[in-house]
């Protein structure tokens, strides 16, 4: 159930979780979930409704009898869930976040499935793909971060602002659960830790200005 005043997003919420929303509808819904910027929970009611619909869709799919698709359909399905196409809803969002063109973002995302592209991070459960953000973010560091399923990134302080976009998996941060397409914003000197969901590795895109582990 959404908040009073959010009724216009009920239908869009259902379309987004079903993968049937238009790009404009997806953008409007994302903006609504993260409408109040740093240090805000956005719209928790709509966020919770989004997660409930995702879980309901998953339970429905699991209840269906398995059907072997024709070879051509199987190939298209595998491309959609394993290749760069699975990130298509994020192309423009990542481009805006990192001050890059959509074409540049596609090139970066193409590396995510290459094991050799990932470097070991500060902890054994972290892997990184660094890249240079656009000129508007010349003083920031940017990259993809893969956190092993179930791992907890320890408590740390931010030396500058940070914006994180969840691409795959999920995480818990300060009592809130974040899923793909949700944004987490941290202010300078904010302190926190986060825990990746246990079901699969967490993949995020992060633009930040350094941290101190506490």
1-31 pLDDT per residue, tens: 445 567 777 777 777 776 667 777 777 777 7
CATH 2.60.120.10 fits 115-213, yes or no: yes
Q: How far is CA 120 from CA 115, 159, 165, 190, 201, in A?
A: 11, 22, 20, 25, 15
pLDDT in tens, 61-118: 667 777 776 777 666 666 655 678 888 888 999 999 999 999 999 999 999 999 999 9
Residue 191 has pLDDT above 80, yes or no: yes
Q: Residues of CATH 2.60.120.10 domain(s) within the chain?
A: 115-213
Query: DSSP states of the chain as a string?
Result: -PPTT-THHHHHHHHHHHT---HHHHHHHHHHHTTT-TT----HHHHHHHHHHHHHHHHHHHHSPP-PPPHHHHHHHHHHHHSGGGGGGGHHHHHHHHT--HHHHHHHHTTTT-GGGPEE-SSTTEEEEEE---GGGTTSEEEEEEE-TT-EEEEEEESS-EEEEEEES-EEETTEEE-TT-EEEE-TT-EEEEEE-SSS-EEEEEEES-EEE-
Give the pLDDT of residue 44.
Answer: 74
Give the pLDDT of residue 40.
Answer: 44
Closest-CA residue to 53 (of 167, 163, 179, 198)? 179
Average the pLDDT over 172-180 and give the result.
91
Residue-wise burial string across 59-92, b where 16 or more C-beta atoms lie within 10 A, e elsewhere: eeeeeeeeeeeeeeeeeeeeeeeeebebbebbbe
């Amino acid at each position: 159930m959404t908040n009073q005043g959010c009724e216009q997003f009920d239908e869009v919420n259902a379309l987004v979780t079903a993968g049937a929303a238009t790009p404009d509808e997806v953008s409007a819904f994302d903006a609504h979930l993260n409408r109040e910027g740093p240090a805000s929970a956005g719209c928790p009611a709509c966020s919770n409704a989004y997660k409930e619909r995702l879980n309901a869709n998953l339970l429905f799919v699991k209840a269906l009898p398995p059907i072997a698709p024709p070879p051509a359909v199987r190939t298209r399905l595998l491309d959609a869930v394993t290749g760069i196409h699975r990130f298509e809803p994020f192309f423009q969002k990542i481009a805006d976040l990192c001050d890059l063109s959509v074409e540049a973002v596609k090139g970066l995302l193409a590396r995510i499935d290459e094991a050799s592209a990932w470097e070991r991070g500060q902890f054994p459960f972290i892997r990184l793909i660094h890249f240079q953000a656009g000129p508007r973010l010349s003083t920031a560091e940017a990259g993809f971060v893969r956190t092993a399923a179930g791992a907890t990134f320890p408590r740390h302080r931010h030396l500058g602002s940070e914006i994180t976009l969840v691409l795959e998996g999920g995480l818990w941060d300060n009592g809130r659960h974040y899923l793909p397409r949700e944004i987490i914003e941290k202010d300078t000197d904010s302190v926190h830790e986060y825990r990746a969901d246990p079901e699969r590795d967490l993949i995020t895109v992060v633009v930040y200005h350094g941290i101190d582990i506490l």
